[in-house]
Structures are given as C-alpha cells and as structure tokens.
Amino acid sequence: MSLIRNPVLPGFHPDPSIVRVGEDYYLATSTFEWYPGVRVHHSRDLVNWRPLGGILTERGRLDLSGVPDSGGVWAPDLTYHDGLFHLVYGVMDNYALGYKDIANYLVTAPSIEGPWSDPVRLPGRGFDASLYHEDGRSWLLNMVFDSRPGRGFAGIELQPLEGGKPQLILPNRNITEGPHLYKIDGWYYLMVAEGGTGYEHGVTVLRSRSMAGPYEEDPAGPMLTSRHDPSLELQKAGHGCLVETPAGEWYVAHLVARPYHNRTCVLGRESALQRVEWVDGWPRVAGGVPAVEVAAPALPAHPWPAADGWNGLERDWSTLRRPPSPDWLAADHDGLTVHGGQSPYGLRGPSLVAHRVTAQKCSLEAVMRFEPGTVHQSAGITAYYNSRNWFYLAVTAEGLVLTSSDRGARTEHLLGPAAGEVRLRVEFDGPVVRFNHGPELDATVLSDEHADERVDGQMRAFGFTGAFAGFWVQDLAGEGCTARFERIRYEAAR
C-alpha cells in the first residue's frame, strides 16, 4: 500500500489551500514577506509533489517593500470555477498595536502557469479570505477583525462576490479564522481554523442546510488538532482545506509543525495531508489527530524527476521583499551574481536569496568570489529567520566576520583574513547551526517561537515563517558591489 509521508511540503509552507482539476492536484501556501508570492506545488497522486514556483512574481502584482516581518501574503485560497483558476490572497501591511492593515485581492488564470490577471481589490473587513462557487455565482468568506480596544476576532462573514451586504454567518468562538465552504449531499459544510496558529490550533467543521446558517458543530468535536497530546510528532495541526479524488476519496490539507525538544519550531509551519472518512454525515480524521503516515488514494504512482542541488531560482529559491530583477540579481546554470542591497534591518531593498530549511539536518554551500571596497560592503552566507534574528558569515573589509542578531541585539566575531575565492557552508543539525568557520550557534534563535515578540502586552512581531539558508550581499552606502556564488548545493535529510 502506498503511503503519504507528512509533512508533504517540509519547511516553511503554511496555510495550505488544495484544489483538484481533472487528474492534477495543486497546493498553494502562504509566503509572507518572500517572493515569489503564493508558492504552488503540483501532484497527481497526493504522495509526490513538485514545486511550480509562485503566482505573484512581479512587484506590479505584489509590492512587499516595507512590509513587516511575517507581514505580506497571508493565507491564499486557490479554487477552480468555470474554466478559471481563482486565487484570493491578503497582503498584510501592518499588524502592530491591535490593528490589521490588510487588503484582499483576486487574480484569475486559465492555467496554473498563467497568464494571471491583474489583481482586483476585494471587499472584506478581515483576513483569511476564500471563495465559494455554486451555480455560476461566487461568494466571498473572510474572518472579521475588530480593531477597537479589547475586541479582535469577530467571526466569519459571507457576501456575494458580485456585490451585496456582508452577513455574519458564524460568531467568533475561539479565534475563529481560515473559513472554507463546501456543499455536499445537500449540506453546507463550513470548515474553520480555531485556537490560534500555535499549539492550541485546530480544525473545526460545522454544517447547515442554508448557506447563511445557522451552523451546528460536529458533535464529535474538532476534526483535527494536536492540542491535547504534546507527544505527537506533528504539532499545531490546523487551517484545513478539503479535496476529493475522482474515486470519491477525501483528504484534508492542513498545516503542522515539527518542534524540537524545547518546543521551538525552526522549520516553521509545514503542509500535511490526512485521510478523511465520512461518519454520520460528518468528515472526520481518524482519532482527530495528525498522522505522519497516511494511506494514499487509489491513484497511479506519479513520482517526479529528482531535482539537482542547484536548479535555478524559479522553483526552489526565494528572495526577500523584492522580486528577482536584473538590477540586482542574475542567475545562470553555474550560479548567482548578486549586487549589494540594504542592511539586515532594511525592509525595502535587501539582497538576500535563500532556500527554505526543510529538515532538522541540512546544509547549504557555495564558493564565493567577492572583493569588498569599503567597510560598508559585505557578502556571505546566512542562516536567517527575519530581520531581527539571523546569523551571517561574511567577507568584509576587515576579514571574515561572523555576526549574530538575536531579537536585534548584534554580536560580531572577527575570524581572520579572507579575500578572493572563499568556500562557504552553513549546516543545520537539530538545535545547532554550524558554519565552516566559527563556533556552534543556537538554531532555536531562528524559530517561530523566538521570533514572536510582545511589548507591554501588544504584539511587536509575529513568527509565521521559518528558517532559511541563503546568500546575502550588503552595500550600505550604495557604492556598488557584487558577489558571485558558484558550486551551489543544498542538501537535506528526510
């Protein structure tokens, strides 16, 4: 029997939205402050997945300059209706001090490869927007956010996409968000995420004979959660989305996390699949908990060709807050040429190209050629979470320097002279980060939990992404510098 091995998308791939079109399954995930916006993976058997790159690849369609850490693209929803793919997504410009400055957009395309339409601004007074299609019409769902002091999550709204007043169909229960609506055998099933995105996360299913409700909850309780069992390998299970195979088998795509011994999640939130059985008219997962191995559907096996260690930017690599463009980045068969950008704390024009950390044991290496002209220039390799939490081994005008940033507090170690061609390597080994120069470092600084910051009870920064390994070039005075990276190789143990 073929098995699905979870997570099916390891590393930073949260908030999965899954859709089947014929024999093809597509899974879209959140990308926050990273390009390309909304990564998509493709499968024909739900076991083997290949990256297709991202949907929002140009600044004209997605502007991430200046968005905060863990801002940007939140919770995409991918559906297919009347011969078109529909992608709904939110762009979070600010979430600090009790406000949520987010705009929701819709793009469409006849094929998953595009061409995608220009974004259309949608109504909506919150985030996690999704579409429901029925009889040639479409409805928009989203959670409602109330920014007045002491308020916050305010339930789930529904409104016709063509225009009309929004209607509250479910009041807030327990941080209710992530709605998806389905009509099956005369029932409307409303699937929501509840409990927040951390260790209390879960998937709840409610149903009604009317689209507008009222909705009753499955008497068996949450469809899926890890909150009651800290021994489970897969934690934070939540934010679900249903899909049906041609043979009538059902699965739910959802996010999970694989914490280390101290309950920190360096790999971020990942995507998994669970088999769904219908019991007394309710979709249920065995035991209501996420399993690492799940029976695959009765579909022909469809593995994809293995990717090389360096196979170009388009599918496996991401750039921070600005898309790849010739003015700062060039990729070819042999490697990367990167022009320097802003400082580590700059939110508009950094020059950082990175690969998601996808396993507790993994590594990235390259050979770099770089000659710094001034003390304002550096280039090297990084283990990165966000603008406040990172490690950076760089060639500078002073020599080889290892810099750590822990919630913005920097420390530097001068390791010795360096010039010309330098071999660079960073290795993740569970809770340890090692560079090929310098001491061992604490990998849990690069975790979701460590990135969360509150000041006087108010959220300062969210940790919604995951660790990256990448190449970073800094030109703080804009004097012009370039680094060349070749013999690039990323390796990960599964």
- List active site positions: 15, 177
Q: Read off φ and ψ for residue 445, nearest 5 degrees.
A: -60, -25
Q: Are 297 and 290 in contact (CB under 8 A)?
A: no
Element (H, E) at 9: none
